[in-house]
Amino acid sequence: MAEIDEAVTVWTTEEGIPTRLVWRTTRYRVTDTPTVWADVCAWWRPFGEHHYGVGTLPREIGGWRFQATDDRGEAHVFDVRHDNDRRTWQLVRIFD
């Protein structure tokens, strides 16, 4: 697993589910069912250290994990996240 912070281009369905991406000039098609990974909502994070009690924290989509394959048949598992402020997609991790 490599941790990466690079801009990528991602195409999605109308529901926001990734279908393909371009990373380092190579086009990949999503070849499995993307999985959502969730983060604690930014508005919920306290200013200092906090220990949470009973219940669950508000969550939002943190990003997507999916396998994608290029035209030569090389596949990777990608973790991507949409950066709303910059209006771009970021590649967070890649698994070979």
pLDDT value of residue 87: 85
Two tokens, residue 29 = 């098609």
Q: What is the pLDDT of residues 22-81, one digit of tens each?
A: 999 999 999 999 998 866 655 555 555 655 555 555 555 678 999 999 999 999 999 999
pLDDT value of residue 71: 97
Q: Which amino acid is at 73?
A: G
Q: What are phi and psi of 42, to 5 degrees?
A: -60, -35
Q: Would the pLDDT of 2 be above 90?
A: no
Rg (CA), the chain: 15
Picking from 62, 6, 65, the residue whose alpha carbon sits closest to that of residue 35 is 65
Domain boundaries, the chain: 2-44+56-95
Task: Give the global pTM.
Answer: 0.75
Q: Would the pLDDT of 18 be above 90?
A: yes
Number of continuous H segments (helices) and E segments (strands) in the chain: 0, 7
State the Cα–Cα distance between residues 64 and 93, nearest whole angstrom: 10
pLDDT value of residue 41: 56
